[in-house]
Structure 1
Amino acid sequence: MTANAITLFRLFLTFIVIAIFKQHTYIDIACIVTILIIFILDSVDGIVARKHNQTSTFGAVFDIAADRIVENVFWIYFASITDFIPLWMPIVVVTRGILTDGIRGIALTDGKTPFEMMTIPWTRALTSSRVSRALSGLSKILSFTFLPAVPVFEKMQLNADFLKVFSTTTLIIATIAVAINLIRGVPVLVDGWKYIKNSSQ
């Protein structure tokens, strides 16, 4: 299976999850496991691309676009089905994505891929380093497995005190994930500013 096929499969699984979630407790649990698989596959497609020399401009752009779709869909969906995730969270994430992807699009017209446009050491570290990518990935995995777990636990009528603690913990994790999302968007604005100026001349 090619890297792009894996990316496409991730998108397919994402829409399957939101289509069948909240149908039955066992289905919901399967959906949570599927979400975990979706984010594991995000790492797999990159490994496959490098191992089989399938890296390309299209692949880089498609991978980022798929990441954006997965994140936006889950943020919007889980904010809509839970009563403790504020609306500003998906709004901030979507807005950040539109801005950074727009800048990356401008850089692409200059022949620079999303990763090639990052030239300053600290901006490259924040967007491409293993630590940064690991923290970002972990925050998303925790957010998008904890968020659907809340309604599942409520349906199972677990202890009220446990539910309160779990919901609060989930909100904290989601807030951290949004913060990391914003922080990792700053380097794109910094390194992308020269492309914005050149395009306006």
Structure 2
Amino acid sequence: MANLITVLRTLLAFLAVAMLRWHTWEIYVGAAVLTVLLIWMDAWDGWVARRRNEASKAGAVFDILGDRVVEMTYWIAFASFGWIPVWVAVLVSARGILVDGFRALAFERGLTAFGATSMMRSRLGALLVSSRLSRGAYGVGKAAAFTLIILAFAPGWQPSLKTTLAVLAYGCVYATVILCVVRGLPVLLEARRFLAPERAG
């Protein structure tokens, strides 16, 4: 069930971005509401997995892959529309690929991104990467950034309101990008130990 929710929210992300091709206020607001819903579903699928005793290492990896597809869909689409700088989409995508690559090495050793078998050893790393506070803040940041960017470019707003929405949107975008990088650095630093055997060999 949890994996089905992950698949569903990924498909909803594709739908929300596709809706932005129709330049009407109602469609844009609908896409913004859909965006909030599918970001919320990221927390819901974890709750369902725990409730139904479906939590597993493979499920956790599938959840992270779903997260990555969703966020890259939005960042790349926004960059292609000219709504955000291209470097934002490139940076977030590169960070995701690097972090997930090192997490794959950790997974081979029986470690996971979060939970009791987390690959993070240091308290600071665990706080920044795998704590509920950090994950929740990043989820809220993405929801705010994606939603406000969509609303800022929705047609029909008064100029003053459109300006206010744009200021809030770009503030959330850059804050979320900073948080994305800050959460990724500890993973890269702590994962260096997984490369030691390859260097020795």
| TM-score, length-scaled by structure 1 | 0.92
Shift of 1:32: 0.9
**Does the 8 A contact of 2:113 with 2:130 survive in 1?**
no
Q: What residue is the counterpart of 2:58 in the other structure?
A: 58
* More divergent stretch after superposition (103-112 vs 32-41): 103-112
CA displacement 1:155-189 (0-9 Å, x = unmatched): 11x33233223212211110000000000001211
Give distance in 2, aligned partners of 1:113 and 1:55.
Answer: 12
Q: 2:29 corresponds to which residue?
A: 29
Give the total of aligned pairs: 196
1:118 corresponds to which residue?
Answer: 120
Identity %: 34
The aligned residue for residue 43 of structure 2 is 43
2:140 maps to: 138
- AA of the residue aligned to 1:120: S
Aligned residues: CA RMSD: 1.4
Report the AA paired with residue 4 of structure 1: N
Kindly state the Cα deviation for residue 43 of structure 1 after the two structures are TM-superposed. Answer: 0.3
Q: Give yes or no for contact 2:106–2:191 (8 Å, CA) kept in 1.
A: yes
- Per-residue CA deviation, residues 35-65 of structure 1 (Å, 9 max, x unaligned), is 0000110000011111111111210111001
- The 5 Å alignment of 1:84-103 reads 85-103=84-102
8 Å CA contact 1:136–1:180 kept in 2: the answer is yes
Q: Distance in 1 between matches of 2:3 and 2:25?
A: 32
Q: CA deviation at 1:79?
A: 2.2
Deviation at 1:120, TM superposition (A): 1.5
Deviation at 1:190, TM superposition (A): 2.0
**What's the counterpart of residue 18 of structure 2?**
19
User: Hey, what's the Cα distance between the residues in 2 that align with 1:194 and 1:143?
Assistant: 34
CA contact (8 A) 1:49 1:55 kept: yes
**Equivalent residues in 2 for 1:148-159 (5 A)?**
148-152=150-154, 155-156=155-156, 158-159=157-158
Alignment of 1:100-111 (within 5 A): 100-111=99-110
TM-score by structure 2 length?
0.92
Q: Secondary structure at the match of 1:185?
A: helix
Structure 2's unaligned 5+ residue stretches are none
CA–CA distance in 1 between the matches of 2:136 and 2:198?
A: 33
CA contact (8 A) 1:79 1:90 kept: yes
Distance in 2, matches of 1:164 and 1:34, equals 23
Q: CA deviation digits over 1:133-155, x for unaligned, max 9?
A: 22111111100100111121xx1
Letter in 1 for 2:55: T
- Distance of 1:200 and 1:29 partners within structure 2: 52
Partner in structure 2 of residue 170 of structure 1: 169
| Cross-structure match for 2:184 | 185
Deviation at 1:33, TM superposition (A): 0.6
CA distance in 1, matches of 2:139, 2:128: 13
Moved over 6 A (4+): none
> Residue deviations 1:55-99, cap 9 Å, x none?
11210111001101101110111122244x211111110010011
